A and B are shown apart, each in its own frame.
Chain A
Amino acid sequence: MTNFIVWVVWVLAALSLLGSGIAVVLFQNPFYSALALIGNLASLAVLYLLLAAEFVAAAQVLVYAGAVVVMFLFVIAYLGGRADAPWAGGPSPQSLAAIVAAAAIAVEIVVVIAMKAGDQLSTPAKVDDNFGSPAEIGRLFLGDHLLAFEVTSIVLLVAAVGGVILGSAVPRERRS
């Protein structure tokens, strides 16, 4: 019975994930695309909860829906959401080539995973209660993955400095 509920939640989250992902790509107005991305990230957070990754789900909602999407919305509001319809006037050779390339990427990934790990995918997952808890994540970050933790702070610092420099630079022709 529990697994039935898990499957129902999984199917709903998967449909909403794929639907909002396609909406992000197909909406003409960038503002609507950014709003559809919130739905995409929220369905991903539900899937992370099903995968026993509570901390990652919380971080996903805070970092993505709370910070990244708000930043996108600010920039879109600043620049003005200009509509952009690449498929206006029938399918162009570029859009057909894009469909073929995206399908080729999907087929490649499936083939490689099936060749390399196809026999290991059916073994049942083995997790304990502690798995994915904030305490376990903290222990891993400050133990085995300390270097990644420290490099993360440098990456964030560099990105913050870069964002300030790119955002505050005035073009040369207007400076004089």
Chain B
Amino acid sequence: MPGPGVAAYLILSVILFATGAFGVLIRRSPLIVLLALEIMLNAGNLALIAFARQTGTGSGQIFALTVMVVAAAEAVVGLGLIVAVSRRHVALDVDKLTTLRG
């Protein structure tokens, strides 16, 4: 019996990505939107690493590590924005944050 192939990992990755996309669409708290974004990035990482093993080249793993760095940077900037918004006493609700003011 062969072990789980790349198709099994891809199905998992697609379901995880759809879960994250659903979370981004349905949640109004920007904190949970950021968490759901991390889930989507991780679903992409899973597909990259599954393909890296399939083709036997390490480039997919390098790409996944780079995505990880970008996700960490995105979390820093996103959380900084959320803290800056909450300092202005604006409601933390992505449906209400519709205007930009300097």
Contacts and interface: CB of A to CB of B under 8 A. Distances in A.
Bin the interface of chain B by size: 35 or more
A59 to B, nearest CB: 6
A91 to B, nearest CB: 10
B73 A155 contact: yes
Interface in A10-30: 10, 14, 17-18, 21-22, 24-25, 30
8 contacts: A18-B15, A21-B16, A56-B45, A56-B64, A105-B21, A137-B61, A159-B72, A169-B87
B59 A24 contact: no
A167 B85 CA distance: 10
Contacts of A79: 31, 82-83, 86, 92
Given A75-B31, A141-B62, A113 B10 contact: yes
Contact of A137 (B23, B56, B62, B71): B62
Interface in A115-151: 121-128, 131-132, 136-137, 140-141, 144-145, 148
B75 to A, nearest CB: 5
Contacts of A22: 19
Given A75-B79, A84-B28, A121-B5, A106 B68 contact: no
Given A56-B49, A127-B53, A140-B62, A25 B77 contact: no
B31 A30 contact: yes
Contact of B12 (A14, A63, A126): A14
B5 A51 contact: no
Contact of A145 (B3, B16, B59): B59
Given A51-B50, A121-B5, A156-B69, A166 B81 contact: yes
Contact of A166 (B1, B3, B25, B77): B77
Nearest to A141: B62
Interface of A: 3-4, 6-7, 10, 14, 17-18, 21-22, 24-25, 30, 33-34, 37, 40-41, 44, 47-48, 50-53, 55-56, 59-60, 63-64, 67-68, 71-72, 75-76, 78-79, 82, 84, 86-87, 94-95, 97-99, 101-103, 105-106, 109-110, 113, 121-128, 131-132, 136-137, 140-141, 144-145, 148, 152, 155-156, 158-160, 162-163, 165-167, 169-171
